[in-house]
Structure 1
């Protein structure tokens, strides 16, 4: 049992990661990287395995060191934008119910992607868009730095101790924990190290997140 840094009697806020948490984009990401690799005559599977572990510029340094990284990034961004326009996207089960069930102004998106792509994916999947989106361009340091989640809290007018972070990835969990927030993990068979609470699916987490937002959440966790 661990104690969560929440305070009773105050408005609660929920900060969501996007890819892997609210939207299932794994097949899209794999397809984009496969096309990118083919453009440069590289082995798509090898490139994707590197891309899973590193940020794009680091990926280029490993798999295409002889290429201009700015050109590589421009090509990748073009493919990602095209995928947002034409790719097939699916929200995780429970995402729509959850986001529509939260009070306006009580939640935000914190993503390592870019806002225009997030808006495009939400439009495609019918998810509501909040007033606060902290994307890759909004901060100098992305996850696992706590800065993205701290900025989201600041823009919501929230104290970190009143925020719940919902994440699927280790870097996001470290980011939320570093910001002094409660962190719950979703969409993984095993709990990510550092989460206060783990749910195998977003659907399973929905009633608990809504209870947190309403102030009915119990502070003890498994």
Structure 2
């Protein structure tokens, strides 16, 4: 899951990023409103962790801009301000949740997961996609033939494909989502090819159709045939 953390307190920013990076998140950081705007224009995120109080401007300004631009990312406000008015204003502007400082990092991670589940998967940890059964929280995948043993990156790749089911995703978007926009990835796409080849083989070996189709010159599409409902 790709996260943008917007927080001007450097120690807290580093602490949040370090914890989330160690728990299967891909994190990018912004310590001011200008950097935050640049990153939001350049990339898409699953969730934005947003401090209200910034050196110039306000986190509320970011919320208004996200709403105007119809961004689909979730938003979790973090702020030392605990007043009801602040919470209501943030929620009215489109935030999904509000966490008052100080907070425990495991709770922050749990809130982010909950936002993502609500937005993408209707609030459930368990997902059924054709022959696949997935548990988002425990990160396991099963078919009728048993568990599918995936690496962390393969699981993240599968979740990204399922989140964009039947849509074309570019190779650049896959790199951005799995490693971040500023990762030290090589100029070629060999690592993507390896992950996709391994994921396809593991799913097919467990009785799945070949869901992942290459779209020449662009990227890939995760396709599931939707059967018509009998009346």
Give the TM-score category using the shorter length.
0.3 to 0.5
Normalising by structure 1, what TM-score? 0.36
Give the helix-richer structure, 1 or 2. Answer: 1
Task: Report which of the two structures shows the higher radius of gyration computed on alpha carbons.
Answer: 2
